[in-house]
Each structure stands twice: as structure tokens, then as C-alpha cells.
A = this chain, B = another copy of it.
Amino acid sequence: MTYCLGMLCRAGAVFLSDSRTSAGMDNITMCSKMRVYEKPGDRVLCILSSGNLSLTQATIALIDEELHLGKQDPGREQLMNRQTLYETVRYIGSKVREVEKRDREALEADGFDFNIHLIVGGQIAGFPPEVHLVYPQGNSIHATRDCPFLQIGERKYGKPILDRGFTYETGLADAVKVGIISIDSTMTSNVAVGPPIDILCYEADSLQARLRAHLDDDDPYLQTISQRWQDGIVKLVNEMPAPDFSKPALGFATAA
């Protein structure tokens, strides 16, 4: 499994991903799920991937292949010359569909799902930052002010902190902290998600991927956030008022 998160806010966008891949309990390895593509002053794109590793790698391979071929042939359609982020996302969706044509039948014949999800975000000059989610069918949705984050992979453990701690108006530094807590909570509760954590903190209109981090398990900052969260929530619980059992519990009766 995997957990990746794209967060859209007024000040920019934050992308986080774990690095664990597993193909059975005895085959757990590390693989970054984050790809950053940058043409400073023109555009920054970030792709996060979850699902079957061979499918996400196949999709990225097709994208990178055309990017490379496009250097000899500037008219060629490729990742970094689409006019808008939505067109970029549709282009990526078309690569997912190519992989689907190649591999789905063979996978399903042996009982594997065609499972790939991507988060694609960033900014193209002249447009605001955006964060999208691409489905296995190649179609997509995008984050909005009301629904400012998108998750792929093992997403349930890390959702409560986002629902309560993150809005479109959250500043970038706090967004990064909430994102780290969301991933760290998931790692604590589920062994299929693990470090290092890759982070891209994209500042709106900067058009460069300047703020990036790669936090290993023993990274002092990650440990600080994790420990302060642990201590903080225990203290929060301690300080809350005790439950009141003096009212009769009308909702249910005692049997027997």
C-alpha cells in the first residue's frame, strides 16, 4: 500500500508521499512515489502515485519517454508543453489508458486489479495552482476551496486530522505540519505505509520547486513533530472534562 496527499491552499500547494511498497509480507521495499517536473518561470508539476508498482512505473515511463523524444521534436505532445494543468492531467490520463490497454487483461487473468491512482498538481504561468486526482479509468477530479485536499492509497487513517486541521486558508507551513501528522498517523497505524516521507511545498506564483524535503525515519524534525503530537493529544485528553454518567441512558434497556 501507499499513502499520498495533495493539499491546495490560498498560499500554494503541498504534496506528500510515503515510500513503502509491498508485494506480500516478505517483499517490502522502499520506492519514492513523488516525481517533480520543473521549468522555472514556466511551470512546476508534481505527480504522486499509488497502486500496482508496475502500472505506476509504466505510466511514468511513457510520460518520460515522450518528454525525452520531445527534445528532438518540439511540436510533439508531451507532459511539459500542455497549455493548462487540466490538459496536462488529461494527457496523463491518456497514458494511464495506454497502460490499461497493454496490461489490464493479463493482470485480471491472474486475479490482480488494474489499480493505479495519481495525484497531479502544481502551477503553469498565468493560471492558479491546482491539485487533481487521476483514476484508473484516466478521468480525474480536482481539489476546490471547499474540498481542498485529495488522497490516494491508504487514506482513512490520515483523514481525520485533515478534516479538522486543514482548510484552503491554512498557511503553507501549517499545511506541511498537518500533512506530516496525517502521514505519520497512518504510518503508526498501518505497516503498509512507511518512511521516508517526500515533501514538496509549492509557493503560489513562485513557478519553481524550491521547498522540498525527504524525511527519513530518524529525521529529527519528523521525530519532533511525531513526539509533540503524541504528547500533545494525551495532554489534550487529560485536560478534557470527565464524562457525566449521572443522566439516565434512555436509549437502551438492560436485558436479562
Contacting A243 at CB < 8 Å: which of B37, B213, B233, B240? B213
Q: Report if A207 contacts B (CB, 8 A).
A: no
A229 to B238, CA, bound (A): 11
Contact A160 B163 (CB under 8 A): no
Q: Identify the closest chain B residue to A197 (Cβ).
A: B251
Within 8 A of B (CB), among A186-211: 186, 188-190, 196, 198-199, 201, 209-211
Contact B37 A233 (CB under 8 A): no
List B contacts of A8 (CB < 8 A): none
List B contacts of A212 (CB < 8 A): 245, 249, 252
Q: Identify the closest chain B residue to A253 (Cβ).
A: B36
Q: Report if A221 contacts B (CB, 8 A).
A: yes
Contacting A251 at CB < 8 Å: which of B159, B177, B214? B214
Contact B79 A245 (CB under 8 A): no
Q: Report if A164 contacts B (CB, 8 A).
A: yes
A64 to B34, CA, bound (A): 55
Q: Report if A225 contacts B (CB, 8 A).
A: yes
